[in-house]
Amino acid sequence: MDSKPRAFISYSWSNPEHEQWVVDLADELGDSGVHVLLDKFDLREGHDSIAFMERMVNDPDVKKVLLICDKVYADKTNNRTGGVGTEAQIISPKVYSEADQNKFVAVLKERDDEGKPYLPTYYASRIYIDLSNQENYAQEFERLVRWINDKPLYQRKHIGQRPAYLDEEPEISLGTTPYFRRAIDAIKGNKPSAGGALTEYFKIIATNFERLRIVRDQSKEWDEQFIENVSSTIPLRNELNQIFEAIAAYDTTGEFGSKVHRFFESLIPYFDRPANLNVGSWFETDFDNFKFLGYEFFIHALAAFIAHERFDLCSRLLNEHYYNERNQTFGQDTMVDFSVFCDSIKTLHYRNERMDTRLFSPVGMLIKERLTGTGITEFKLAQAEFVAYLRSEMTAVASDSWCKWWPYMLVFARRMHGPFEIFARAQSKAYFDRVKGMFAVQKADDFSPVLEAHGSGQRAPRYDYESISISLLMGADKLATRD
């Protein structure tokens, strides 16, 4: 049997012009590989046209039936007059039959004076193919050919594996979703309410962050409680990533930079024992989940801003200090630098020892594992991490102290043989001028004290026996050397 799809055309003999239009359509379909069954082609004098039509509708080898709809066809169908009316009595039950949902389609030939389609009443609520407009004819004809061949333009992609987080502990809701949607919509729509919506979203996170505080369960290992807790925050982290991406892409004036800065500032009180914590004793690791999330959110924000080359937003996060009210209690400076977002996560180091996983960077590995499904790579975060580390190291070397920012993600840069992307691009003087603000330098030579301090290798970050070369990752010898 012919493997080409077989399609029967039902139409009215409205006038010679319309009949020729139907024949032309049949020819076009034939040129597109469709075996068209049409009375003009398949009936001869003495043949029974109604019997032919009934046979075509009921033939299991005829998979598709086209109903060519003009005014005459619609009128005769609705009034059950003439041959078309008889056809309607045979076709309409089939159209209503669930088994034949994909066998019949109305092909619109013309509309009335008000632009409404001429369709049989029994077909009025169904999707049709519109060949009544010459401007869209080619597009709609393609739809028709695809329909006949069961090859729609839009097809469902392969369905992937069930996300692992669905089988994890139920997430702890911070009630952020409606605020997130308003903020995203307002930012992308450049609405006057965008600033207020963003502030509201950040405020609800900071206020409800308390819900993430872990109450120790003596029947569980502490590090297992930690993992369960931070696993529940992946949806929140993903929301924030979208917010950071939207700000980077749509906030061309940089006005939301201060709001991002204040958001991170609002998380700082959670990194230590709160003044109102009514407990007789507490452990330093009680706050490790908050420290981990603050660090993760910060490097994700940097990575998003760097990816969009929003170095102005990065500079704000790296160069402006943050208010830490708690320091006032201990007589310390209440204004602290961004290194407050990078503290030791002792719970993960304990977990590394307890489970004997021998990870060089337990924090970095957990951050990497949480990237599944985000489209973000550990190397993008490593680049953001390196920017933060280098900025902190600039301050540390200048004050003859040790760097406060430990680069957890640089463990993934150990095998790199050249500079990170933004430093490779910064070989251009123009590009260097764009990124230099992140490091509070004016020229490439301003990095010299740090490079000299690292010359002995004592300051370089180490993972087991391997140290990281900041000169290599910077491409220091080529910075700002090309016009």
Q: Are 233 and 121 found together in one domain?
A: no
Range of the domain at 98: 6-148
Gyration radius (Cα) of the chain, Å: 34
Given a cut of 90, whether residue 339 has pLDDT beyond it is yes
Q: 68-77, 162-171, 334-343 — which one is most confidently predicted on average?
A: 334-343
Identify the band that residue 247 occupies on the pLDDT scale cut at 50, 70 and 90: very high
Identify the band that residue 23 occupies on the pLDDT scale cut at 50, 70 and 90: very high
Lowest mean pLDDT among 48-52, 181-185, 315-319: 48-52
Mean pLDDT in residue range 350-371: 94
For residue 159, tell me if it sits in a domain.
no
Question: What's the whole-model pTM score?
Answer: 0.66
Q: Are 184 and 265 found together in one domain?
A: yes
Q: Are 192 and 102 found together in one domain?
A: no
Q: Which own/partner contact pairs does 198-202 have at CB distance under 8 Å and 24+ positions apart?
A: 198/243, 198/247, 198/256, 198/259, 199/259, 201/176, 201/243, 202/259, 202/260, 202/262, 202/263, 202/266
φ and ψ at residue 330, rounded to 5 degrees: -100, 10
Q: Are 237 and 324 found together in one domain?
A: yes
Mean pLDDT in residue range 149-163: 81
Query: How many Å separate Cα 445 from the centre of its chain?
Result: 40
Lowest mean pLDDT among 32-41, 106-115, 164-173, 201-210: 164-173
Q: Which tokens go with 207?
A: 């206020």
> What is the structure's pLDDT at 98?
47
> What is the structure's pLDDT at 380?
96
Q: Are 140 and 182 found together in one domain?
A: no
Report the distance separating Cα 186 and Cα 183, nearest Å: 5
The mean pLDDT of the chain is 88
Hey, how many other C-beta atoms are within 10 angstroms of the C-beta on 277? 10
For residue 472, tell me if it sits in a domain.
no
What is the secondary structure of 81-100 as a DSSP string? -HHHHHHHHHHHHHHHSGGG
For residue 182, tell me if it sits in a domain.
yes
Q: Which tokens go with 75?
A: 């009128």
More confident residue, 199 or 279: 199
Lowest mean pLDDT among 108-117, 189-198, 339-348, 362-371: 108-117
Q: Are 118 and 211 found together in one domain?
A: no
Q: Which tokens go with 348?
A: 């993960």
Burial class of residue 332 (count of CB atoms within 10 Å of its CB; 0-12, 13-18, 19+):
exposed
Given a cut of 90, whether residue 282 has pLDDT beyond it is no
Report the distance separating Cα 192 and Cα 187, nearest Å: 9
Question: Considering only CA atoms, which of 111, 142, 258, 153 is closest in space to residue 199?
Answer: 258
For residue 98, tell me if it sits in a domain.
yes
Report the distance separating Cα 57 and Cα 72, nearest Å: 21
For residue 33, tell me if it sits in a domain.
yes
Identify the band that residue 50 occupies on the pLDDT scale cut at 50, 70 and 90: confident
Of the residues 348, 377, 412, which one is the last residue of a structural domain? 412
* Domain CATH for 98: 3.40.50.10140
Given a cut of 80, whether residue 472 has pLDDT beyond it is yes
CA distances from 9 to 40, 115, 194 (A): 10, 24, 55
Q: Are 229 and 350 found together in one domain?
A: yes
In the beta sheet, which residues pair with residue 8?
A: 37, 65
Given a cut of 50, whether residue 79 has pLDDT beyond it is yes
Structural domain count, the chain: 2
Q: Are 275 and 232 found together in one domain?
A: yes
Q: Are 113 and 215 found together in one domain?
A: no
Given a cut of 70, whether residue 186 has pLDDT beyond it is yes
For residue 288, tell me if it sits in a domain.
yes
For residue 153, tell me if it sits in a domain.
no
Of the residues 379, 412, 445, which one is the last residue of a structural domain? 412
Lowest mean pLDDT among 234-248, 323-337, 389-403: 323-337
Q: Are 201 and 135 found together in one domain?
A: no
Mean pLDDT in residue range 298-326: 95
For residue 463, tell me if it sits in a domain.
no
CA distances from 222 to 66, 230, 283, 288, 354 (A): 68, 13, 11, 11, 11
> What is the structure's pLDDT at 394?
94
DSSP at 371? T
Q: Are 189 and 295 found together in one domain?
A: yes
Q: Are 195 and 111 found together in one domain?
A: no
Contact assessment for residue 30 and residue 6, using Cβ atoms and an 8 Å cutoff? no
Q: 111-115, 147-151, 165-169, 427-431 — which one is most confidently predicted on average?
A: 427-431
Of the residues 395, 412, 429, which one is the last residue of a structural domain? 412
What is the secondary structure of 195-208 as a DSSP string? HHHHHHHHHHHHHH
For tokens 């159209």, name the residue.
95
